[in-house]
Amino acid sequence: MPRYPTPANAPPKVRVVTLRINGQDVSAREDETILSVAVDHGIRIPSLCYLEGLTAWGACRLCVVEVAGIPKLLPACSTVVTEGMVVETNSDKLKRYRRMILELLFAERNHVCSVCVSNGHCELQNLAAECGMDHVRVPYRNAPYEVDSSHDFFRVDHNRCVLCTRCVRVCDEIEGAHTWDVMGRGVECQVITDLHTPWGESESCTSCGKCVQVCPTGALVKKGTAAGEMEKLGDFLPYLTQMRGKQ
């Protein structure tokens, strides 16, 4: 049989690798991350800043896993799989680590669930229950942050922000407006609109509401919602990303 040359513009072949997650042998493409492979095989890895359809950020560190032969913990959302990799996702060490991260998040800002509009529909709250965090063992900062209600339809409460940057990424990568960004350093960081302009005065905001829908807490919400009334649509972003890719 004659062998025809590969066209110069043909996409490179992606190799399939085999790895082990929690004692289970799984196959994956060599360009996939540990988190995406785990999701495909029904293996739960807690995460907060990660959202399907957006680029990985690796900020929350809740998705860290243990990889045999590597002394440090690695973020599953941004670590690419390799042949023969052995991964542990739910060891006692990881459970302690995740609980401490959640305690620090709750202590850094005001997350009083009982009066939050996202009570019962909050990813941070759900993760705390999943990881067995029923109290905080570190001092609360009790630092007040502003609430910006200048927008006609939405409100941002910086007291409930966990700096996951989902709003920044969805506004940039999906809506294409890049209204949101991050200002400051360390615990003083906060998300801002148009170089720290009040949200209602933003000239780039399209009022699409995508940032509100991807926010995992009660930081970005619709105006007029009472405690426990703010539900968010977690499955609309993968659909939007798929549609954008076909255009």
Within 13 Å of residue 69, how many CA atoms lie on the same side as its CB? 5
What pLDDT does 193 receive? 97
Please give the backbone phi and psi of residue 150, each rounded to the nearest 5 degrees, phi first: -75, -20
Tens digits of residue pLDDT in 4-13: 555 556 666 7
State what percent of residues in the chain have pLDDT above 90: 82
In the predicted structure, residue 245 carries a pLDDT above the cut 60: no
Give the residue carrying structure tokens 């995740």.
Answer: 98
Tens digits of residue pLDDT in 111-170: 999 999 999 999 999 999 999 999 999 999 999 999 999 999 999 999 999 999 999 999
Q: Place 239 in a pLDDT band, splitting at 50, 70 and 90.
A: low
- The DSSP code for 78 is T
Nearest by Cα to 77 from 55, 99, 94: 55
What pLDDT does 19 receive? 97
The domains found in the chain, sorted by start residue, are: 16-90 (3.10.20.740), 116-235 (3.30.70.20)
User: Cα(36)–Cα(19) distance, rounded to whole angstroms?
Assistant: 13
Q: For residue 168, is it left (φ>0), alpha (ψ between -120 and 50) or beta? A: alpha
